[in-house]
Structure 1
Amino acid sequence: MAANGAPGAITQGSPTQGGVGESTLRPDGALKVTGEFAYSSDMWHENMLWGQILRSPVAHAEIVSIDTGEALATPGVYAVMTYDDLPAEVTHYGLEIQDTPVLAHGKVRHHGEPVAIVAADHPETARRAAAKIRVEYRDLPVITDEASATAPDAVLVHDGRTDGHARHVPHPNIVHRQPIIRGDVAAARRRADVIVTGEYHFGMQDQAFLGPESGLAVPAQDGGVDLYVATQWLHSDLSQIAPVLGLPPEKVRMTLAGVGGAFGGREDLSMQIHACLLALRTGKPVKIVYNRFESFFGHVHRHPAKLSYEHGATKDGRLTHVMCRIVLDGGAYASSSPAVVGNAASLGIGPYAVDDVDIEALALYTNNPPCGAMRGFGAVQACFAYEAQMDKLATRLGMDPVELRQRNAMDQGTVMPTGQVVDSPAPVAELLRRVKAMPLPPERQWETTEGADVRQLPGGLSNTTHGEGVVRGVGYAVGIKNVGFSEGFDDYSTARVRLEAVAGEPVATVHTAMAEVGQGGVTVHAQIARTELGVARVTIHPADTRVGSAGSTSASRQTYVTGGAVKNACELVREKVLETGRRRFGPYHPAWATAELRLEGGKVVTAGGEVLADLVDVLGDEAVEAEEEWRHRPTEPFDPRTGQGNGHVQYSFAAHRAVVEVDTELGLVKVVELACAQDVGKALNPLSVVGQIQGGTTQGLGMAVMEEILVDPTTGRVRNPSFTDYLIPTILDTPAIPVDVLELADRHAPYGLRGVGEAPTLSSTPAVLAAIRDATGLELNRAPVRPEHLTGM
């Protein structure tokens, strides 16, 4: 029985909608802006129960005892489960390292860790029952930073590690370490005329998606379970869920429910296993929906970081060497920390050509909240630091900061610090030229004939200033981000495409497991099908695990990889259709024997445009279907000692210019404009591309001036788990974001495209910081910037 609110197929097709390269409107757009779209939290099922999670109030403690008796005796409660009630030998899960317990066992390792779960007939009953569970804790020392994590007598966050990274790290509280060494830094230092150093701190950022974690688990007659859930990676979820339930994968059927944003925060599991456990225990459907407070504890965050850098240059501005050490706080569990370390290290010097480098990146186990994937994935933290260094170096050399960057900009053919040759366009200098050439916004825009427009001033509607002490600043930054999964990961996607005649019209159906999380993949898949199959109507089948894996909606990879799979499947379908046509109509026209046929406008046409047959006549009563995979070229792991290796598939680049106005007396900042230039290879949907760039830019703005999860350094407790205290940009904070899109095709990618979504998140943050430095003259080595950093308070 299908759950009410589960997503249905989306059919696209009208005279105004087109193929690849056209700005096609999203089929789910109107539903979302009118509030009619069914998100996972909207799902409902007859006789449904509600699940609730009891979380740890402390960051590190032994669990002495758990008493569930009073909770079980609560009227309306159907089940209470702890670690001891788990049904299978497998009790832990994880993206790379299976170190996360389904429910805490023996001890808790971070504030908010799940300890017990409850199912009841009403959400308030479930919450009250969870509050009645009595847990006795015995406090343990809290590990919150590198000093406490790596001290000789440090308490181990995880005892007895056996994962593949353990033998390469100097301390068990280090999740992963990646050095990258190339050239001779000692000799290069002697050639340097100028050396600048800096220590930078980057805060913990939340993905802050608007749709909290939610899902519905429905027990099935075959002893399995159907799970409708908001996630980023259906098949990865499946591979972690099934072993814990003690079920074969085919008995755990997953369907993507409506997703209200993700940005990396849904790549790890949250409530999936808990809902399934309760459904199988009670024999009833179980729905779990986090509130906003729970959501801050229910997903990973962006790694906070401490970054130490040294840059050297000749007096004419040529970089001689870069040394850096990047320490990422991974929190209590590994999540994707090893991959984040690999990205931070391999992209740690930025989009610059430097022959001599010495890089070290590592991630720690601590008792802080777990950290993992978030838009930009390790490259964001590094970009903040290396771009601050480039500004510092430009000041010491008396050079224009854009000219310094252009003088050292990498290009196609540049050798990366890992030894990998960049074999596709890398227009770093051109992007900087373009963004600098954009017209600057008018100054003093707050001045009107009626007086000051406070909305245009620092502080906005708080009406704290009318322009006194407001100074303008301009700053630049550029970044480099890898596209797709790296370091030897078998990154592929699968697509099933079906073409048939429905009511006298050819209709294509595209079925993938791609998670549509707001990036617009469902639109692009239809565009590809229209382009390759020449049909107007395309149905996008709901994403589920009944088709092969599409991988994760992350790493800017879905249009590249799943789009490639859809293109492959469409090409195979087209060949099958043409072969059918040759069998049916070939004898009557010699053109059928040629290979120069295409499908266009629902017809089979020659290269010269001659119509050979109507596509509906070719199909007849048959349907043509193909399922194809698409793999990008292979990568390899970085050497654990030197960091050498062809670790990445593709790189993306974006440059920003920020214009800010700062009230230097009150410490208030107004970002007036964040102009961006980005190479996208090929804009499959230009409107969507610009939206992705503007969205990523806005998240970078948030990190620059407002967003940070605050963790008490002595207790490890999260201090601001709400949108009241964790601030994100609103429309009043969002500046003008003009975008200049460059299209330089990558010959290795489908249609020449380049991943779009992450690169603008990198360079927007350091551009804003550079502009604030320009306005104030302050060093500002920390993100986000707070008012007290600008006033000396």
Structure 2
Amino acid sequence: MRSTGLTQLGGRIGESTPRPDGTLKVTGEFAYASDLWHEDMLWGCTLRSPYAHARIRSIDIAPALAMAGVHTVLTHADLPAATRYGLEIQDTPVLADGVVRHHGEPVALVAADHPETARRAAARIVVEYQQLPVVTDESSATAEDAPVLHPDRTDPHAAHVPHPNIVHRQPVIRGDVAAARQRAHVIVSGDYEVGMQDQAFLGPESGLAVPAEDGGVDLYIATQWLHADLRQIAPVLGLPENKVRMTLSGVGGAFGGREDLSMQAHACLLALRTGKPVKMVYNRFESFFGHVHRHPARLHYEHGADRDGRLLFVKARIVLDGGAYASSSPAVVGNAASLGIGPYEVPHVDMEALALYTNNPPCGAMRGFGAVQACFAYEAQMDKLAAELGLGPVEFRRRNAMSQGSVMPTGQLVDSPAPVAELLRRVKALPLPPPRQWETAGGAPDVRALPGGLSNTTHGEGVVRGVGYAVGIKNVGFSEGFDDYSTARVRMEVIGGEPVVTVHTAMAEVGQGGVTVHAQIARTELGVEQVTIHPADTRVGSAGSTSASRQTYVTGGAVKHACEAVREQVLALGRARFGTFHPAWGQAELLLENGKVVTDGGEVLAPIAEVLGGEAVESEREWRHRPTQPFDPHTGQGFGHVQYSFAAHRAVVEVDTELGLVKVIELACAQDVGKALNPLSVTGQIQGGTTQGLGLAVMEEIVVDPATARVRNPSFTDYLIPTILDTPAIPVDVLELADEHAPYGLRGVGEAPTLSSTPAVVAAIRQATGLALNRVPVRPEHLTGT
């Protein structure tokens, strides 16, 4: 079941190196987790609740068990050990424990010898429900008579919230907002709303659990965080962690949606009960219920500025809908609160962010993690202020832009480059696309370039152009005192007369290109050509999650640290074997380059293969960035974040104002990446994040019925994501200002462009239409008033 790893040649730090999995993916040859196979495996299926809030009166599994080919049916009563799990708070039932709290909650599991048999058997399970009142928003969640969704809370946030249906609340207080309001020349306010976005990864949840002879289980799984999965799964199975062995399988995207468990524990439970391998693969419909989503949000902002266009104060309130279970909502609240003012210098701040428990679908990590929702609101406010003051949108932002040495509202000093004004200058300076691109040489319209595209709805009548700008700030890495570290094991040996390096981490490769970067680091530090990336599994120490733009920083740092230790072992062997014959071996600085040991002056001392002889050297190292601290629960003060990243966008759109159709022509981006370890991959990350922000701006939303809390559109037929026809030109201007605290000076890349692309697109639509547009995604009816 295990791959032999990816072997790569060529490409060092700073070079554009193609990904070894790239060709396989675009040609359809890459093996994803859904392609896993075992000759005698069973198929697992999940029965899910049709209601968002209901009491389970009875479950009759006999009709399912009576079907030929069915091996077992499991309910909450059959769980062998722990019955709940969770990333931060263990409040999520493995299977519904008498009450369902959201539409699609798992109620029972079936294992059968064919997937269709498993699905039909699940449909035969008879569940009697008693529907309960649903909690869907802040007013219903915090009302005096609101049903308390988790009455037995014991989590550390419970003591700091005003109502038990509030997961977490974080204020950020700085200065004196009331006094600053009295001095303000201009005050603007606004109410904003962000819809629930899905990660929409293309590979649905899937995995294969294989029972082992020692009573344990081997799980091959598409995930973002192997060791967090392990920490949650082992107690559910009643097994020690060393008997739950996890190997990463091919992952078809993640964007935060694979941080939480989906079918991991379910597949293992069925495998251990039946004694047979069990494969589970969600279809697209089920995938919408199988993972968390981006928190929908309601935001109120009030900004004040003086006559010179300097910000004086911000008062804001952010309400995030966390859905039925906590997932990572507390951390999302911390991000929204601490980053919710934007990349600006504001002396007086009164911010409150909170997340609710409701009967809506659970929400958690998604690319941008709390900062996306805030950025849409504060950037709309910046455009309002600029208009009131008679300033251009870029000029107003540049006057208030933070820089290195600025102090965040949390009191944290920004001690690395923060080139916000420069990014705005650069993105504005990029040439604009020519007007009326939809006109052919003969003057006839090319409908593919018009709003509505091939639907042929307009030939240019009523089409107007708009340009909008936005900039955002995102943290890098885990925050608020989390012990954020990674582990890497590096081995060097001689194979076929050449030195070969193997890099082994538990990093989940979800499409971000980490396997390429790790090989580049090994080649750079150890001077070899051939590097093999060992399959990620739990047989090496944790690499943390592939999220928070952290993997190149933290796991890359661990690989670099382990390589440095291996290099010292190689040099020690050389000194022992050759030191008496060549005095240069005694000098302090020796390097490994092009398969040889060389002095810092370039003199070759010996081939690495000769130094190693028949020996292999290996080192496993943990690497931690500088520590952070929790935010004060009352004031929000504290050194909460490791690093900040910044991106700015300029959007150019064309809008058919009669039909309410939008065509995004261009989304230019300028971003500081510290150091581009792989420029090709960096550009791809920026363009991918930009496109995901475009989706939130004009099309992506999970629609939940406000009366029943049922999901209305769980399919790619009704939940729209940008295709190649929707994706505009995305020119990228990469700035490299090194962060001295980070390996190679790098800065996390993947999330920042997701923030500012959304408000930039909406700002451009506002300019084209003159409409307020305080909600995303923008729909045709918002533009036509129908």
Same fold (TM over 0.5): yes
Q: Of residues 117, 121, 133 in structure 1, which corresponds to 2:125?
A: 133
1:556 aligns with 2:549: yes
Q: What is the DSSP-based 3-state SS (H/G/I as helix, E as strand, rest coil) of the residue aligned with 1:447?
A: coil
Residues 60, 111 of structure 1: 8 Å contact kept: yes
Residue 18 of structure 1 and its aligned partner are, at CA, apart by: 1.5
Q: Of residues 266, 276, 283 in structure 2, which corresponds to 1:284?
A: 276
Residue 44 of structure 1 and its aligned partner are, at CA, apart by: 0.2
Residues in 2 aligned to 1:128 and 1:302: alpha-carbon distance in whole angstroms: 32
1:324 aligns with 2:316: yes
The match for 1:152 is: 144
1:385 aligns with 2:377: yes
Residues in 2 aligned to 1:498 and 1:595: alpha-carbon distance in whole angstroms: 23
Q: What is the DSSP-based 3-state SS (H/G/I as helix, E as strand, rest coil) of the residue aligned with 2:580?
A: helix
The match for 1:767 is: 760
Residue 34 of structure 1 and its aligned partner are, at CA, apart by: 0.9
Residues in 2 aligned to 1:610 and 1:266: alpha-carbon distance in whole angstroms: 49
1:494 aligns with 2:487: yes
Per-residue displacement from partner, 1:648-706 (whole Å, max 9, x unpaired)? 00000000000000000100000000000000000000000000000000000000000
Residue 595 of structure 1 and its aligned partner are, at CA, apart by: 1.4
The match for 1:9 is: 5
The change in CA–CA distance for 1:709 and 1:409 in structure 2 (over 3 A counts) is: same
Residue 7 of structure 1 and its aligned partner are, at CA, apart by: 3.7
Residue 46 of structure 1 and its aligned partner are, at CA, apart by: 1.5
Residue 733 of structure 1 and its aligned partner are, at CA, apart by: 0.2
Paired residues for 1:162-241 under 5 Å? 162-241=154-233
Q: What is the DSSP-based 3-state SS (H/G/I as helix, E as strand, rest coil) of the residue aligned with 1:340?
A: helix
Per-residue displacement from partner, 1:170-228 (whole Å, max 9, x unpaired)? 00000000000000001100110000000000000000000000000000000000000
Q: Of residues 575, 581, 589 in structure 1, which corresponds to 2:568?
A: 575
- The AA in structure 2 aligned to 1:8 is T
Residue 8 of structure 1 and its aligned partner are, at CA, apart by: 3.2
Residues in 2 aligned to 1:477 and 1:614: alpha-carbon distance in whole angstroms: 53
Residues in 2 aligned to 1:146 and 1:663: alpha-carbon distance in whole angstroms: 36
Q: Of residues 447, 467, 489 in structure 1, which corresponds to 2:439?
A: 447
Aligned CA RMSD, in angstroms, stands at 0.5
Paired residues for 1:335-350 under 5 Å? 335-350=327-342
The match for 2:403 is: 411
Residues in 2 aligned to 1:597 and 1:316: alpha-carbon distance in whole angstroms: 57
Paired residues for 1:244-263 under 5 Å? 244-263=236-255
Residues in 2 aligned to 1:776 and 1:630: alpha-carbon distance in whole angstroms: 51
Residue 439 of structure 1 and its aligned partner are, at CA, apart by: 0.1
Aligned identity (percent) is 83
- The AA in structure 1 aligned to 2:413 is V
Q: What is the DSSP-based 3-state SS (H/G/I as helix, E as strand, rest coil) of the residue aligned with 1:735?
A: coil
TM-score by length of 2: 1.00
Residues 7, 38 of structure 1: 8 Å contact kept: no
- The AA in structure 2 aligned to 1:274 is H
1:681 aligns with 2:674: yes
- The AA in structure 1 aligned to 2:7 is T
Q: What is the DSSP-based 3-state SS (H/G/I as helix, E as strand, rest coil) of the residue aligned with 1:676?
A: strand
1:275 aligns with 2:267: yes
Residue 125 of structure 1 and its aligned partner are, at CA, apart by: 0.2
Per-residue displacement from partner, 1:398-431 (whole Å, max 9, x unpaired)? 1101000000000001010000000000000000
Q: What is the DSSP-based 3-state SS (H/G/I as helix, E as strand, rest coil) of the residue aligned with 1:308?
A: strand
Residues 310, 322 of structure 1: 8 Å contact kept: yes
- The AA in structure 2 aligned to 1:190 is Q
Q: Of residues 729, 732, 739 in structure 2, which corresponds to 1:746?
A: 739
Per-residue displacement from partner, 1:690-729 (whole Å, max 9, x unpaired)? 0000000000000000000000000000000000000000
Residues in 2 aligned to 1:33 and 1:791: alpha-carbon distance in whole angstroms: 39
Per-residue displacement from partner, 1:28-68 (whole Å, max 9, x unpaired)? 11111111110000000021000000000000000000000
- The AA in structure 1 aligned to 2:335 is N
The match for 1:398 is: 390
Q: Of residues 426, 439, 456 in structure 1, which corresponds to 2:449?
A: 456
- The AA in structure 2 aligned to 1:432 is L
Residues in 2 aligned to 1:379 and 1:373: alpha-carbon distance in whole angstroms: 11
Q: What is the DSSP-based 3-state SS (H/G/I as helix, E as strand, rest coil) of the residue aligned with 1:728?
A: coil
Residues 635, 649 of structure 1: 8 Å contact kept: yes
The match for 1:40 is: 33
Residue 157 of structure 1 and its aligned partner are, at CA, apart by: 1.1
Q: Of residues 748, 767, 770 in structure 2, which corresponds to 1:777?
A: 770
Residues 7, 256 of structure 1: 8 Å contact kept: no
Moved over 3 A (4+): none
1:610 aligns with 2:603: yes
Per-residue displacement from partner, 1:736-791 (whole Å, max 9, x unpaired)? 00000000000000000000000000000000000000000000000000000001
Q: Of residues 603, 608, 620 in structure 1, which corresponds to 2:613?
A: 620
Q: How many residues align?
A: 785
Per-residue displacement from partner, 1:486-540 (whole Å, max 9, x unpaired)? 0000000000000000000100000000000000000000000000000000000
1:109 aligns with 2:101: yes
The match for 2:257 is: 265
Residues in 2 aligned to 1:7 and 1:559: alpha-carbon distance in whole angstroms: 23
Paired residues for 1:296-315 under 5 Å? 296-315=288-307
Residues in 1 aligned to 2:620 and 2:440: alpha-carbon distance in whole angstroms: 61
Residues in 2 aligned to 1:8 and 1:187: alpha-carbon distance in whole angstroms: 65
Structure 1 gaps, min length 5: none
The match for 1:662 is: 655
Q: What is the DSSP-based 3-state SS (H/G/I as helix, E as strand, rest coil) of the residue aligned with 1:452?
A: coil
The match for 1:690 is: 683
Residue 159 of structure 1 and its aligned partner are, at CA, apart by: 1.2
Q: What is the DSSP-based 3-state SS (H/G/I as helix, E as strand, rest coil) of the residue aligned with 2:562?
A: helix
- The AA in structure 1 aligned to 2:700 is E
- The AA in structure 2 aligned to 1:10 is L
Residue 120 of structure 1 and its aligned partner are, at CA, apart by: 0.2
Residues in 1 aligned to 2:217 and 2:54: alpha-carbon distance in whole angstroms: 34
Residues in 1 aligned to 2:39 and 2:485: alpha-carbon distance in whole angstroms: 38
Q: What is the DSSP-based 3-state SS (H/G/I as helix, E as strand, rest coil) of the residue aligned with 2:466?
A: strand
Q: Of residues 624, 643, 667 in structure 2, which corresponds to 1:631?
A: 624
Q: Of residues 431, 434, 438 in structure 1, which corresponds to 2:423?
A: 431
Residues in 2 aligned to 1:749 and 1:672: alpha-carbon distance in whole angstroms: 36
Residues in 2 aligned to 1:473 and 1:269: alpha-carbon distance in whole angstroms: 42
The match for 2:86 is: 94
Residue 449 of structure 1 and its aligned partner are, at CA, apart by: 2.9
The change in CA–CA distance for 1:478 and 1:662 in structure 2 (over 3 A counts) is: same
Q: Of residues 642, 650, 667 in structure 2, which corresponds to 1:649?
A: 642
Residues 7, 258 of structure 1: 8 Å contact kept: no
Residues in 1 aligned to 2:540 and 2:218: alpha-carbon distance in whole angstroms: 15
Structure 2 gaps, min length 5: none
